Amino acid sequence: MRRTLLVLSCVALLALGLAAAAAAGNGGFAPVGPADQNESGIRSIYWLLLAITGAVFVLVEAALVLFIFKYRSAGRPREVEGPQVIGHTNLEVAWTVAPVLILAAIAGFVFAKVAGIKNAPAAASAETVRIEGHQFYWQFDYPNGAISIDTMRIPYHRKIELEITSSDVAHSWWVPALGGKLDAIPGQTNRTSFRADELGNFHGQCAEFCGIQHAAMAMVVQVLPPDRYDAWVQQRRTDAAAVGHETFQGVCAKCHGLSG
């Protein structure tokens, strides 16, 4: 009995430790709150999958623990086999049909959400931003010729169309609060769209290993009120000093210091 309690205590402590590690510094178990309708659909799919897989995990582990304790040797010599059960039609039908039904439910829900994830809300006009991945920074080109590095500014509640490509190797654009990942591939332009329904800064990261400084390929999407965005994009077009400073910080300083 003492040994059983010790084992269970160790397992419980290990589970608590792993849960704490999972929740420390990486956003925890839940995805970040959605800031547009695309991410809202992805979040719904995440919670459905978590609920189903969590329930399956609990049932399987509970059955495993039950069988371990219920059918252990109970003093029987190790070389003596226990009762042998060959075949169980009801169980075999159950564990064949149950996964099929679960997968059908998941597939139906996912396909119902796909259209909403892929298509941004309709809008009379849209802002187009070209995103170009480089080793190891992001460059954003705006319709009037303005440029920014690593920080993309967009207007609040306005449809944004992204044209994503790469100048060197494969990268992957991903801002969790604003939708799914999209690869940046040399010689190819991938397109997606979204509409930010919250003001603020939303952080993202290159999601495709692209070289030794891959971890430095972070990005920020800054959602501004429309009037502030319009003023910024007009000023940035002729503000060479700001572009130069941002370029040094985002391009050069990631690999080089003042000493070389």
Mean pLDDT of the chain: 84
Residues written for the chain: 260
Distance, in Å, from the CA atom of 182 to the CA atom of 164, rounded to the nearest integer, reads 8
Predicted confidence (pLDDT) at residue 76 exceeds the cutoff of 80: no
pLDDT at res. 189: 94
Domains of the chain: 32-75+88-119 (1.10.287), 126-252 (2.60.40.420)
pTM for this one? 0.70
Residue 220 has pLDDT above 90, yes or no: yes
Measured CA to CA, the distance from residue 114 to residue 132 in angstroms comes to 26
pLDDT above 60 (res 215): yes
- Of residues 105 and 27, the one with the higher pLDDT is 105
Q: For residue 178, with 0-12 CB atoms within 10 Å meaning exposed, 13-18 middle and 19 or more buried, which class applies?
A: buried
**Tokens 């370029």 correspond to what residue?**
247
pLDDT digits (tens, 9 = 90+) for 110-160: 888 877 666 666 666 788 999 999 999 999 999 988 999 999 999 998 889
Q: Which of 33-37, 53-57, 88-92, 228-232 has the lowest mean pLDDT?
A: 33-37
**pLDDT value for 194:** 85
Cα gap 164→171, rounded to integer Å? 10
Q: What is the pLDDT of residues 10-63, one digit of tens each?
A: 888 888 877 766 665 555 566 666 666 667 777 888 888 889 999 999 999 998
Residue 91 pLDDT level (bands cut at 50, 70, 90): confident
